[in-house]
Amino acid sequence: MTRAEQLAFCNQCCNRKMDLQQGMICNLTDQKATFNNTCTDFIQDEDKRLSASHRVQTDITIDDLSPKLLEKFQQEQNLPVAVIFGFVAGILGAVLWAMITVATGWQIGYMAIAIGFMVGHAVRIGGKGIAPTFGFIGAGIAVLSCFIGNFFSVIAQIADYSSLGYFETLYMFDYGQFFPVMAETFGIIDLLFYGFAAFEGWKFAFRQVSQEDLQ
């Protein structure tokens, strides 16, 4: 076991104590942990018990894991499900963006950040990914969803101007003019928000290493 994996157990044990020179050590041996997989002297500290899946050991990263645990996490990755979850969240976010635009009359760019957050978490939940591919998927779907959200908003504005129904406008729209219309409504500030969406989609797409995972 790596030191980080041992500390995940020691941090929950009543026999732990801190030493200024060595860090966390065992109160019984006055030494750093040397056990592998399990410790026969482990006593659960109820005050330190983690609520399932809610607490995350933020200072433990993928690089801290042993090859055995890393291989296990890699086997649990699911790219197709990550893509499906990401697209579902992205479409929901795009529809929500259009609805808010219709309701307020304003195209709120901050929705791009919310979409990135939604997509990233969906990719994380569905894919349990640790590979960079999942980050690229989260970022790519987030940006695409923002673009779709912009288009849905344009359709809503055209429908309102033409006194037509939304779905009627969506059906009658001349898709040969898709790119010219999107270019006309696109501004520099949109690039900034798209960048935020991509960052959020990337950041939240990766699996978090929890105490429950290590144990």
In angstroms, rounded to a whole number, what is the distance separating the alpha carbons of residues 18 and 10?
A: 11
Q: Please give the pLDDT value at position 101.
A: 75
pTM of the model: 0.65
101 and 141 both lie in a single domain = yes
The tokens 């690089």 sit on which residue? 63
Is residue 181 helix, strand or coil?
helix
Question: Within a domain: residue 44?
Answer: yes
Per-residue HEC secondary structure of 3-34 comes to: HHHHHHHHCCECCEEEECCCEEEECCCCCCCC
Q: Please give the pLDDT value at position 54.
A: 43
135 and 176 both lie in a single domain = yes
In angstroms, rounded to a whole number, what is the distance separating the alpha carbons of residues 204 and 88?
A: 16
Domain span at residue 39 reads: 3-49
41 and 105 both lie in a single domain = no
Q: Please give the pLDDT value at position 123.
A: 95
204 and 103 both lie in a single domain = yes
In angstroms, rounded to a whole number, what is the distance separating the alpha carbons of residues 96 and 94?
A: 5
The tokens 């959200």 sit on which residue? 149
In angstroms, rounded to a whole number, what is the distance separating the alpha carbons of residues 127 and 162?
A: 43
Task: Provide φ and ψ at 24, rounded to 5°.
Answer: -75, 125
Six-digit token string for 214: 């290590």
Q: Please give the pLDDT value at position 141.
A: 95
32 and 118 both lie in a single domain = no
115 and 207 both lie in a single domain = yes
CA dihedral for 77, 79, 80, 83, sign (positive or negative): positive
185 and 88 both lie in a single domain = yes
Mean pLDDT by 10 residues, the chain (215 residues): 82 86 87 87 78 46 70 87 95 87 72 90 91 93 90 82 83 84 79 89 85 63
Q: How many domains does the chain have?
A: 2
Radius of gyration of the chain measured on its C-alpha atoms:
24
